[in-house]
């Protein structure tokens, strides 16, 4: 687990993201959401055309890539958001 965390911290450094000591496991969200959407697109009922395996795999791949990309973009955009920064106020 430590090596995965180090790898994710390295990814953040390469992307220029400073999450100020917060968990790196937030990066699992894009991967998990992409896989879930990919599976759902692949088995989606009600496609209006006769969809063979190739079309369904194409939908699944598109869903996986698009959802993962959007999730990563969202995570990157909240890099220095003041609401996402660690609490530095003194405790009372």
pLDDT at residue number 83: 58
Cα dist from 77 to 5, 12, 71, whole Å: 21, 12, 10
Alpha-helical (H) ranges within 1-92 are 2-15, 28-42, 53-77
| Per-residue DSSP letter, 19 | -
pLDDT at residue number 80: 60
Digit-by-digit pLDDT tens for the chain (92 residues) are 788 888 888 877 887 776 666 777 777 888 888 888 888 877 777 766 677 778 888 888 888 899 889 988 887 776 666 655 556 666 66
pLDDT at residue number 75: 77
């Amino acid at each position: 687990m430590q090596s995965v965390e180090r790898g994710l911290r390295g990814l953040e450094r390469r992307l220029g993201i400073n999450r100020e000591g917060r968990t790196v496991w937030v990066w699992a969200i894009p991967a998990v959401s992409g896989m879930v959407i990919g599976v759902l697109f692949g088995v989606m009922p009600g496609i209006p055309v006769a969809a063979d395996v190739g079309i369904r795999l194409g939908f699944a791949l598109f869903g996986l890539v698009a959802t993962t990309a959007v999730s990563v973009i969202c995570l990157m955009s909240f890099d220095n958001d003041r609401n996402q920064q660690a609490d530095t106020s003194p405790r009372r």
